Amino acid sequence: MKVIGLTGSIGMGKSTTAGLFAAHGDAVWDADSEVHRLYEGAAVLPVSQLFPGVVVDGVIDRQKLSAAVIGKREALRALEAVVHPMVRAAELEFLEDARAVGAKIAVLDIPLLLETPRRQALDAVVVVSAPAEVQRERVMARAGMTAEKFEAIRAKQMPDALKRAKADYVIDTGAGIESAAQQVAAVREALLATR
């Protein structure tokens, strides 16, 4: 089974691209969705012990949690020490399940993939990208987005040019979904042709 790490900055079309892999029958795991599940389940108790007051109606309130850790390096490290092992365990379980059902390709959709030391465990890194003006247009169309918020998010992410340079494959979504689908098919073909 080939294991792909899929990543890309905000507004680049990563979720859509993950869906294109899924449409081929590939197993796809979404790290962000897993964090959401944990914030409604297994992470609630340990996180609430670290950060009292962040749980509302039995689930972690992401805005309250964000306020508790933003700009506080030690608090963020403490949160990551609780949540990251849980996310990693879920990822390993997903890969086991994908192997058990005979998946040819497993896709790990991880926003901060290139910011963490994960490269060695993957057969390929696929970066989803788009021109800066397309990215801005997509992000600014989101509910509640402001130019300041967008710039703050971008400032925290590795620059797109650097992500592209670290990629084995780049899927450019700037020309639309049909073009992206063709690129995904080509990446799959190339990967499946290698041993």
Q: How does pLDDT run along the chain (195 residues), one tens digit per residue?
A: 999 999 999 999 999 999 999 999 999 999 999 999 999 999 999 999 999 999 999 999 998 998 898 878 899 899 999 999 999 999 999 999 999 999 999 999 998 898 777 666 899 999 999 999 999 999 999 998 888 888 888 887 899 999 999 999 999 999 999 999 999 999 999 999 987
Check: CB of residue 107 under 8 Å from CB of residue 29. yes
Check: CB of residue 85 under 8 Å from CB of residue 102. no
pTM value is 0.90
Q: Topology of 1-26+104-195 in CATH?
A: Rossmann fold (3.40.50)
Q: Which amino acid is at 100?
A: A
Out of 3.40.50.300, 3.40.50.800, 3.40.50.12780, 3.30.1490.20, the CATH code matching 32-102 is: 3.40.50.300
Check: CB of residue 108 under 8 Å from CB of residue 29. yes
